[in-house]
Amino acid sequence: MEEKAIRVENVHKSYSSTVALDGISFEVSKGSIHGFLGPNGAGKSTTMKIITNELTLCSGEIFVNSERPIGFLPEIPPLYKHMVVEEFLLFVKNIFESQVDLSGILSKCGIDNVKGRLIGNLSKGYQQRVGIAQALIVDPEIIILDEPTVGLDPHAIKEIRELILSLKNDHTILFSTHQLYEASNLCDEVTIINNGKILKTGKIEDVKRDLVTGEIFLIELDTKLSDKDCKECEQEFNIEIIRNEKELRITSKGNEDLRGKINRFLLDRDYIVSSLKIEEMDLEQIFEQVTSEKNV
């Protein structure tokens, strides 16, 4: 059985009359990169602050399987921008009475070349790197990163993603994001949260499989589908058709495999199907589908 680094069990959190977390439960496997996905205001930051003891929960339990402190990077990094990078990290190291090798952290985070510069004069991407470095000062087994790439330019985003991947060898990483591309390319596991409730959690491939309802398939015809036949096909099979000349992109809404029936529908109207391909639904499409369903 896989060892768990974090277990969140039936956690509730309210602010006055506002329910922020409504009995959420999920687990983070040891040695994994776990993506915590949800739109803004879904409850991601509240959950992370509860796990790191920045906030108290109203009810439920949190289990952290580590004897070391958690390394935490909030959405707004707690940086003293008037300090020099190395001076700031030494300051954090002294606060925690840490014995870590600071030069190793500077190198790991790719900031040894700016260690003598004022934090406030660094680009936002480099400031994020300094923020991740301060999270590593406590020599954590578990690192929690809240929206680590928000507001960065594409080049800086790519570099932060590569840094996160490099940290996996020595750490369990829980990071929140509303960028689905990041989760698809970085994560072993994901948890999807919306309106303070967990919609799905588990291995990323299992989540994809369990949440997909319907299919997307591409059909190429010998001639353009008429308006009349398009509307009739959509109504008969409860599907959505997007036409691009002779190509059809069809999205079904149920679990029935409609390829044979649609193929027969087209043949009966003298269309020739030259190709038919399944398009795998990506995590972003699944996420949009699930969160929109839960908001209805």
Q: How far apart are CA 103 and CA 112, in angstroms?
A: 7
Residue 230 lies inside a defined structural domain of this protein: yes
For residues 73 and 199, state if they share a domain. Answer: yes
Range 266-276 average pLDDT: 91
Return the number of other C-beta atoms located less than 10 Å from residue 11's C-beta: 25
Strands 172-177 and 33-37 turn out to be: parallel
For residues 204 and 229, state if they share a domain. Answer: no
Number of domains in the chain: 2
Range 88-94 average pLDDT: 96
For residues 161 and 257, state if they share a domain. Answer: no
Specify whether the CB–CB gap between 130 and 122 falls below 8 A: yes
Residue 293 lies inside a defined structural domain of this protein: no
| 113-153 pLDDT, tens digit each | 999 999 999 999 999 999 999 999 999 999 999 999 888 89
Q: Which of 174, 209, 244 finishes a domain? A: 209
Residue 109 lies inside a defined structural domain of this protein: yes
- For residue 73, give the CATH number of its domain: 3.40.50.300
Q: Domain range for residue 259?
A: 213-280
- For residue 261, give the CATH number of its domain: 3.30.70.1560
Residue 296 has pLDDT above 50, yes or no: no
pTM, two decimals, is 0.76
Q: Which of 209, 231, 256 finishes a domain? A: 209
Residue 268 lies inside a defined structural domain of this protein: yes
For residues 90 and 174, state if they share a domain. Answer: yes
| 13-46 pLDDT, tens digit each | 998 889 999 999 999 999 999 999 888 888 999 9
